[in-house]
Amino acid sequence: MTTTLVAPFSMADLLQRQRDFFATGATRDLGFRLAQLQKLRAGIVRYQDEIVAAAKADLGRPAFEGYFEVGAISELDYVLKHLRSWARPRKVSLPLNQKPGSAWVQPEPLGVALIIGPWNYPFQLMISPLVGAIAAGNCAILKPSELAPATSRVLAKLVAETFDPAHVALVEGGVETAQALLAERFDHVFFTGGERVGKVVMQAAAQHLTPVTLELGGKSPCIVTPDADLAVTARRIVWGKGLNAGQTCIAPDYVLVQESLKPALVEALKQRIQACYGDNPAQSPDLSRIVNEGQFDRLVGLLDRGNILIGGDHNRSERFIAPTLIDGVTWDDPMMQEEIFGPILPILTYRTLDEAISAINQRPKPLALYLFSKDKATQDRVIHHTTSGSLCINDVILQVAVWDLPFGGVGNSGIGHYHGIHSFNTFSHLKSVLKKPFWIDLDWRYPPYDGKIQIFKRFLGLS
C-alpha cells in the first residue's frame, strides 16, 4: 500500500518541488525558520490529545507515557530559545602567519533532507530530527513508520496543516515507499530504526554519496556494583525496562551484577516489578503492549532458554508480555545475540569490574551504558575504559533529554548524533570562510623560491 498527501506528484516531482523552493533562499531566512518552528509547536499543542490516543492505539501506551511523544515540544522550545545564536557565524582565530585577515565558520543548510522514522516512538522520533532540519534551514520529506498507523495519520494531518509541501512534506506507505524515496538523491538522510534496515539505508545513500545519520540501537548493559543503592537501582532499572514495554532503543537490555550481590538485586527487582504492575501485570493500565504479532513471536521465542525468575506470562491476542527477569542465559544464547527490545531482562554476573568491562568491550558498542555505583574510581574506570553512544551513571534513559548532550551511537549502534545544537550542526554544512585584505601582500610565498626556505621554516616553527 502506498498513499501520499501530495498525490499526484511522484517522489521525483516532490523532491524537485522542494529543491526549487530551497533555491529561492526562503529557508535561509532566520525569521522564516523561527516562524515555521512556532507553527509546528502550535500544531503539536493542538493535536496533543490525538497524539496520546494514537500512541495508545499503536502500542497500548498509558497516557502518561503517551505524553513522552508530546515531549518533543521540550526540545523544540530549547531550539527556539537558542537558534539565533547557533545560526550566527562562528569566529575563529588566525595564526600569526595568516594575519592580517579574519576567519569564521558559516553554518548553511544542506538542502533537502529525508527523515525516516521508527515505530517505537513514532511521533517524537520523527519530530525531533525535523526540528533540527527546519532550524538549519532545510526542506524535508518525512516517511513515518507504517507499523504505527494511528500515529502516522496524526503526523500526516499535522504536517499537511502546518507546512507548504514544497518546504515540508510527509509520505505514508510501506517498504516500497521507503525504497522509492531512497532511490532519489537527497542532501542528507536521517534514519531511526534497527541495524539491518540501517545497512539498507546506508547502501542506498551511498549510490548518491549522500551523508547519513543512523540512529540504531544495540544491547545496552547495566553494570551494578556492590556499593550501589539497591532500592533506587531496582526502581530505576524496572522503570527504564518497563517504559513502552521495553521497546526503547536505550532501554536497559541486560544486567551485569557482581555475583555476591545478585540475590539481593533480583529480590529488589521482583519487588519493584510487583509494586509497579501488580500481581497481574496483564491487568495493569500502565504497561504498554508489543507493537505487532511478529515482534511478539520473536520475543516469546527468546524465553525458551534460561530460568524465568518472575514474569514470562504472555497473550498473543493481546500482544502482552509480562515484565520478565531471567537468568541462566549465556553470552551465546539468542537472547544475548540481538537487541531484546521488549520487557525481558536477563541477569548475568561478574566477579570483578575488569571482567564486566571486558565482557562489554568484546561485543558491539552499545547505544547506552548504565553504571550503578557510588564509587568515583569505579565511575572513572567505566568512563575511560568502555565505549558507548552515551553513559548514564546511577540512572537510565534520562540522558536522552539533556538537550546540550549529543545523542547517537557508535559503530553498530549508529552513525552521527543530534539533539539541540547537535541537530542544527547535523543538518548544516559548517562552511569555512577566510577573508584577507589587499593592502598587504608579502612575497615570501611566491616564486621564485630561492633564498626563502629559511623564512618558510620559521613560519612552520622548524627553526
- Predicted pLDDT of residue 222: 98
- Reading the block at residue 259, the C-alpha cell is 555475583
DSSP string computed for 223-242:
EE-TTS-HHHHHHHHHHHHH
- Reading the block at residue 354, the C-alpha cell is 575488569
Distance CA 149, CA 70 (A): 17
Task: Please tell me the total number of residues recorded for the chain in this structure.
Answer: 463
DSSP string computed for 144-182:
--TTSHHHHHHHHHHHHHHS-TTTEEEEEESHHHHHHHH
CA distances from 18 to 2, 35, 110, 408 (A): 20, 18, 12, 28
Which residues does 47 contact at the CB level (< 8 Å), separation at least 6?
154, 157, 158
Distance CA 171, CA 107 (A): 28
- Predicted pLDDT of residue 455: 83
Which residues does 276 contact at the CB level (< 8 Å), separation at least 6?
238, 239, 242, 284, 286, 323
DSSP string computed for 75-135:
HHHHHHHHHHHHHS-EEE---GGG-S-EEEEEEEE-SEEEEE--SSSTTHHHHHHHHHHHH
CA-nearest of 114, 122, 135 to 70 is 122
Q: Each residue of 73-122: pLDDT tens digit?
A: 999 999 999 999 999 999 999 988 888 999 999 999 999 999 999 999 99
Domains of the chain and any CATH numbers: 2-216+414-430 (3.40.605.10), 221-408 (3.40.309.10)
Distance CA 223, CA 392 (A): 11
Q: Please provide residue 208's backbone torsions phi and psi, each rounded to the nearest 5 degrees.
A: -110, 10
Do residues 82 and 403 lie in contact, with contact meaning Cβ atoms separated by under 8 Å?
no
Q: What is the pTM of this model?
A: 0.94
Do residues 330 and 239 lie in contact, with contact meaning Cβ atoms separated by under 8 Å?
no
Parallel, antiparallel or unpaired: strands 102-109 and 168-173 = unpaired
Type and span of the H or E element at 302: helix 293-302
Which residues are the active-site residues? 215, 249
DSSP string computed for 382-445:
HHHH---SEEEESSSSGGGG-TTS-B---GGGEE--BSTHHHHHHTEEEEEEEE--SS---STT
Q: Each residue of 169-213: pLDDT tens digit?
A: 999 999 999 999 999 999 999 999 999 999 999 999 999 999 999
- Predicted pLDDT of residue 1: 33
The CA-CA-CA angle for residues 33, 34, 38, to 5°, reads: 120
Position 250: which residue type?
I
- Predicted pLDDT of residue 2: 37
CA-nearest of 285, 296, 351, 233 to 62 is 285
Which residues does 414 contact at the CB level (< 8 Å), separation at least 6?
198, 213, 214, 215, 216, 217, 367, 389, 408
Distance CA 419, CA 399 (A): 11
* SS3 at position 42: helix
CA-nearest of 30, 29, 65, 123 to 397 is 65
| Beta pairing partners, 192 | 215
CA distances from 58 to 217, 319, 343, 394 (A): 21, 11, 17, 31
CA distances from 424 to 83, 107, 368 (A): 8, 9, 22
- Predicted pLDDT of residue 7: 44
- Predicted pLDDT of residue 113: 98
Type and span of the H or E element at 349: strand 344-350
* SS3 at position 371: strand
Q: Which segments of the chain have a pLDDT < 50?
A: 1-8
DSSP annotation of 261: G
Burial 159-170 (b: 16+ CB within 10 A, else e): beebbebbbbbb
- Predicted pLDDT of residue 9: 59
